[in-house]
Amino acid sequence: MDRHIPSNLDREPNSPSGWKGLQPSQINAALGVSCIQRPVASLCRTFLLSKKPKLGLKSPLRELLLLRFSSSTSNLDACIRLRLRLRRELAAAPAMSIFEYNGSAVVAMVGKNCFAIASDRRLGVQLQTVATDFQRVFKIHDKLYIGLSGLATDAQTLYQRLVFRHKLYQLREERDMKPQTFASLVSALLYEKRFGPYFCQPVIAGLGEDNEPFICTMDCIGAKELAKDFVVSGTASESLYGACESMYKPNMEPEELFETISQALQSSVDRDCLSGWGGFVLLVTPTEVKECVIKGRMD
C-alpha cells in the first residue's frame, strides 16, 4: 500500500489541500490512528446519538466519532483536524506512574508499647483486578515487620533480599536486628540501586529496646521519614493521611489501636479505585502477635 504522506502534514494540519486524493487507510497510517471495526463503529455511533454520553459538546473525541462514522465525504477535512487535535491532547495527558500499576495501601500506627501495620489485599493491573488475597506485609522476626507498596514484583524481590541480609546478620551477631538497624539496612539497599531502583515504598514497624515502638517509611531510593504516630504509603496515601489525622490518638491501648487502624484503612481504600478488597491488619505487643483479615467492599 502506498504510504506517501504530503510534506505539509505537520506544518499545515488545517489545510485540506495536502490531503486530497488520500485514502482513509493512508490517513489513518499517517496519523497513527487505527480504524475501528465496523460493528464497534456502529455501536459507538448509536450510543453517541441516542444515549447522549457525558462528553462535552466541544469534546474532540465526540466530534471525531460523529464525523468518522458519517456517510458524507465532505467531513473529511474536519475529521482530520479533530484527529490531530485529539492526538495532541492525548500526548499531553499525564502518564501513569509505575508505582500505581498494581495499586496498594499500607499504613503503620503506634500505640502504647505496641504497634499495628495494615495493608489492602488487592492486586491489580491498573483498573483490572487480578487477585484479592495479595500479601504486602511481611515478617522479618517476631517484633519486626515490613510493608511494601508499589510494584508487586519488585516488592517480592526486595523482600527476598531483605530476608537474606537479615539471616546473614543473625548468623554473624547471633541476635535479631533492631528496627532502627533494619531501617538503615533497607535504606542502604535501596540507595545502592538508585540509578535503577526498586519501585517500592517500604513501611517498617517494630518494637525496639524496652518495647518502644518504632515506625518509619522511605521512598524508592531510601530517604527515610521517621514518625511518632503513623506512616502511610501507596496509591491511597492521601486519603490515609486524612483518615489517620482525624482518628489517631496517642498512647492507645492495643484494642483501640486495632480498631483505629482498621477503620482508617477501610475508609481510605473506599476512596481509591486502585486498592481495596478488604484488608490485612497485624497488631504486635510485647507478648503476642494478632493477625486479622477484615472484610471490605468487594468492588
Number of helices and strands (H, E) in the chain? 8, 12
For residue 211, give the nearest of 127, 110, 70, 120 by alpha carbon.
Answer: 110
pLDDT tens track for 225-253: 999 999 999 999 999 999 999 999 999 99
Residue 239 CA to residue 232 CA, distance in Å, equals 10
User: In the CATH scheme, what is the code of domain 99-294?
Assistant: 3.60.20.10
Tell if the pTM clears 0.85, that is, is over it. no
Q: How far is CA 6 from CA 64, 72, 107, 167, 295, in A?
A: 22, 23, 57, 66, 60
- Asked if residues 119 and 240 have their Cβ atoms less than 8 Å apart, the reply is no
Residue 130 CA to residue 123 CA, distance in Å, equals 6
Domain residue ranges in the chain: 99-294
Sign of CA dihedral 272, 295, 279, 265: positive
- Asked if residues 236 and 272 have their Cβ atoms less than 8 Å apart, the reply is yes
pLDDT at 160 over 70: yes
Nearest 10 degrees: Cα torsion 236, 241, 247, 251: 120
Residues pairing with 118 in the sheet: 107, 281
DSSP class of residue 99 equals: G
197 burial level (CB within 10 Å; 0-12, 13-18, 19+) = middle
Residues pairing with 110 in the sheet: 115
Interhelix angle 76-92/24-31, rounded to 10 degrees, is 20
Question: Higher pLDDT residue, 198 or 24?
Answer: 198
Secondary structure of residue 285 in the 3-state scheme: coil
pLDDT tens track for 1-60: 444 444 444 433 444 444 445 555 554 554 444 444 444 444 444 444 444 444 444 555
